[in-house]
C-alpha cells in the first residue's frame, strides 16, 4: 500500500509512513478472540472525497469493501471513484432513492455524514435549514441495504438537537441499539483539533462494547490516564503525544507557482497564491507563530479592517498563524483564505497550501483529488479525517468479529438480553 504499510500483531495495528512509524490502537474486546477473516461491505453516503471510506478500507488494516457511494458534488464523486474503484453516484440522494432504476446493494455497514451546515453555529438560519432533515434518506438506505451497523457523523451540535432524538427514535424502531460520542481527531492520530459527533447503531449487540474507540494520542500538556477522572482507562496501553503541525508539514519546501501541477505528490498540490501588497504587509506585521488579528490591531492598526475591529462574536480567531508544536485548528473549506481563520503558515508569509491542508486532515500524499483548486479545497475541508475514521472502523470491525464467532446474541432473540 503506497504511503502506508501495516502489519497486524496481536492487538495492535502498526503503521509506517515516510514521516514516522506509528502504533495505533486495534480495538479488541478483553477476551482471547480468534481473528476470523470477514469482508464487510460498506456504503458511504454524502461521501465527499471519501475520508470515511479511506479510513475504513485502507488505514485501519481491515478488509472493508466499498460497494456503493453517493454525493451531491460531481467532482467529489470523481475523486471517490478514482481512489476506490467503486462507482459513486452523483446527485440528490432523495431523487436517487425515488428512481426505480437505482438499486441499493446489500451491505453490512452504512457510513456517512449528512450535510452539517444545518446544525452549524456559523449558520444563522439553521433552525429552518432543510439540510437538517437529510438524515432521513440516510436511514432509508440503512433499511434498504439491510445493514446491521451504521455510523452517522456530524458537528457536535447535532447531539444537543431535537433531530438527534428523532434519529434515535427511528433507528430504534428499525431495531438498532444507539450510542453516541463527541470525538476529537487529535486524540486518534490526526494533527488537527477537530471535534465531531458520531452516532453508532448496531442491531445485534450494544455497540458500547467497543465504541467509542480508545484514544491513541494524548494532549502532552494534560497527560493521560488520570485516576478517578472521566478519562481513566480511555487510552490504549502506550499512547503517543498529539501529532503537530511540525510533524506534518515541516518537510515541505516553499510552494512553487499558483496552480495544480502535473508532477508527483506532494508538490502537485503544494502551490501558493498571489497576495496583494497590503496582504503581505499584514503577514509581515504578525511574524510570530500563534499571532492573529488582535496582534495585528495592536502592532499595525492602520492595516486592520474596520469589520475585524467590530467583530466580537462568532469566528473571532481570524488571520492567525498556526503553532509549530501543536495540532492545527479545524481545517475548513476556505483554508487558503487567512481572513477565514487561523490558516497562516507558522513562519512563512502565506496561508497554508492544499497539500498542507490535506496532510493536516491526515490524507496520505498518494490520495488523488480531482477538480479545480476550489473544488479540491471543498473536498479537503469537508472530509472526516481518515485517521479518525480508521479508529471508528476498528470499533465496527470488532463488533462484526464478535458476531462472526457467535459471542454476541443476535437481535432476533429477546431485546432484553441483547449483548
Enumerate the active-site residues: 116
Q: Do the beta carbons of residue 330 and residue 193 sit within 8 Å?
A: yes
- Which candidate, 396, 400, 411, places its Cα nearest to that of 38? 400
According to DSSP, residue 412 is labeled: T
- Which candidate, 213, 218, 243, 237, places its Cα nearest to that of 391? 213
Distance CA 397, CA 386 (A): 16
Tell me the chain's radius of gyration from C-alpha atoms: 22
- CA 241, 327, 132, 103 torsion: positive or negative? negative
Cell 487529535 sits at which residue?
Answer: 186
Burial class (CB in 10 A: 0-12, 13-18, 19+), 41: middle
Give 222's contacts (C-beta < 8 A, 6+ positions apart).
Answer: none
Q: Do the beta carbons of residue 15 and residue 26 sit within 8 Å?
A: no
Q: Do the beta carbons of residue 396 and residue 151 sit within 8 Å?
A: yes
Element at 136 (helix H, strand E): helix 135-145
Amino acid at each position: 500500500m503506497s504511503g502506508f504499510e501495516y502489519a497486524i500483531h496481536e492487538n495492535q495495528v502498526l503503521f509506517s509512513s515516510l514521516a514516522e512509524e506509528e502504533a495505533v490502537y486495534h480495538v479488541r474486546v478483553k477476551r482471547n478472540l480468534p481473528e476470523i477473516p470477514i469482508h464487510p461491505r460498506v456504503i458511504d453516503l454524502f461521501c465527499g472525497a471519501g475520508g470515511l471510506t479511506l479510513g475504513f478500507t485502507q488505514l485501519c488494516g481491515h478488509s472493508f469493501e466499498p460497494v456503493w457511494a453517493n454525493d451531491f458534488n460531481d467532482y467529489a464523486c470523481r475523486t471517490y471513484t478514482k481512489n476506490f474503484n467503486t462507482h459513486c453516484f452523483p446527485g440528490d440522494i432523495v431523487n436517487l432513492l425515488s428512481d426505480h432504476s437505482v438499486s441499493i446493494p446489500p451491505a453490512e455497514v452504512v457510513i456517512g455524514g449528512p450535510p452539517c451546515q444545518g446544525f452549524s453555529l456559523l449558520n444563522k438560519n439553521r433552525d429552518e435549514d432543510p439540510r437538517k432533515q437529510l438524515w432521513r434518506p440516510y436511514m432509508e438506505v440503512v433499511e434498504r441495504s439491510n445493514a446491521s451497523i451504521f455510523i452517522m457523523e456530524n458537528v457536535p451540535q447535532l447531539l444537543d438537537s431535537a433531530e438527534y432524538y428523532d434519529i434515535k427514535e427511528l433507528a430504534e424502531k428499525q431495531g438498532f441499539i444507539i450510542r453516541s460520542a463527541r470525538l476529537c481527531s487529535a486524540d486518534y492520530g490526526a494533527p488537527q483539533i477537530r471535534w465531531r459527533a458520531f452516532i453508532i447503531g448496531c442491531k445485534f449487540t450494544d455497540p458500547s462494547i467497543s465504541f467509542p474507540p480508545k484514544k491513541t494520542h494524548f494532549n502532552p500538556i494534560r497527560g493521560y490516564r488520570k485516576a478517578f477522572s472521566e478519562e481513566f482507562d480511555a487510552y490504549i496501553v502506550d499512547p503517543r503525544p498529539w501529532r503537530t503541525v511540525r510533524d506534518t508539514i515541516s518537510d515541505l519546501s516553499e510552494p512553487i507557482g499558483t496552480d495544480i501541477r502535473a508532477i508527483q505528490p506532494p508538490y502537485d498540490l503544494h502551490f501558493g497564491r498571489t497576495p496583494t501588497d497590503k496582504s503581505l504587509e499584514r503577514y509581515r506585521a504578525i511574524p510570530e507563530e500563534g499571532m492573529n488579528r488582535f496582534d495585528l490591531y495592536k502592532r499595525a492598526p492602520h492595516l486592520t479592517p474596520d469589520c475585524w475591529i467590530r467583530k466580537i462574536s462568532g469566528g473571532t480567531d481570524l488571520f492567525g498563524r498556526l503553532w509549530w508544536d501543536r495540532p492545527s485548528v479545524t481545517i475548513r473549506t476556505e483554508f487558503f483564505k487567512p481572513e477565514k481563520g487561523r490558516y497562516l503558515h507558522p513562519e512563512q508569509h502565506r496561508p497554508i497550501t492544499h497539500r498542507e491542508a490535506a496532510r493536516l486532515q491526515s490524507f496520505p500524499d498518494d490520495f488523488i483529488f480531482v477538480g479545480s483548486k476550489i473544488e479540491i479545497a471543498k473536498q479537503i475541508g469537508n472530509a472526516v479525517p481518515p485517521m479518525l475514521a480508521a479508529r471508528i472502523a476498528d470499533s465496527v470491525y470488532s463488533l462484526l468479529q464478535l458476531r462472526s464467532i457467535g459471542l454476541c446474541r443476535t437481535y432476533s432473540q429477546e431485546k432484553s438480553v441483547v449483548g
